[in-house]
Chain A
Amino acid sequence: MKRKTPAVRLFFLGGLLVLLVSCGHLTEMKKLNPATDQALLEVCGSPYVKIPHRFVHAIEATFPGGRSATMLGVTLVDPDRQALHSVLMTLEGLVLFDGESDGATLSVSRAVAPFDKESFARNMMDDVRLLFLAPASSYLEHGIMKDGANLCRFKGNTAETVDVLIRPDRTWKIETYTTPFQPIREVMATNLTGNISGDIAFRGHTPQDYTLHLKLISAEPVSGESSPTEPGAGTDNE
Chain B
Amino acid sequence: MITRYNAKNQLLTAAILLICFGLVGWGETWEDIRRDSADIVSIKAEFSQYKHLKILTKPLVSQGRFYFQKPDSIRWEYSTPVKSILLMHKGNVKRYTQGNRGLVEDASGALASMQVVVQEIGLWSQGRFTESDHFQAELKGGKERKFILTPREKAFAAMIARIEIIPSTQQKGAIKSVKIVESEGNYTLLKFTNVKMNEKIAESVFRDAS
Contact = CB atoms under 8 A, between A and B. Distances in A.
B57 interface: yes
Interface of A: 54, 56, 58-61, 63, 66-70, 72, 74, 76, 85, 87-96, 110, 112-115, 117, 119-120, 123-124, 126-127, 204, 206-207, 210, 212-213, 217, 225-226, 228, 231-238
Interface residues of B, number: 51
Contact of A206 (B1, B12, B52): B1
Contacts, number: 155
A70 B99 contact: yes
B59 A238 contact: yes
A93 B1 contact: no
Interface centre among B4, B56, B191 (most CB of A within 10 A): B56
Given A72-B60, A74-B53, A232-B54, A94 B84 contact: no
Contacts of B107: 66-68
A238 B84 contact: no
A214 B53 CA distance: 20
Contacts of A96: 6, 9
Interface in B1-49: 1-6, 8-10, 12-13, 16-17, 48-49
21 contacts: A56-B81, A60-B100, A61-B2, A67-B5, A68-B99, A68-B107, A69-B108, A70-B84, A72-B60, A74-B60, A87-B53, A94-B16, A94-B160, A110-B182, A120-B2, A204-B1, A210-B2, A213-B99, A234-B52, A238-B48, A238-B189
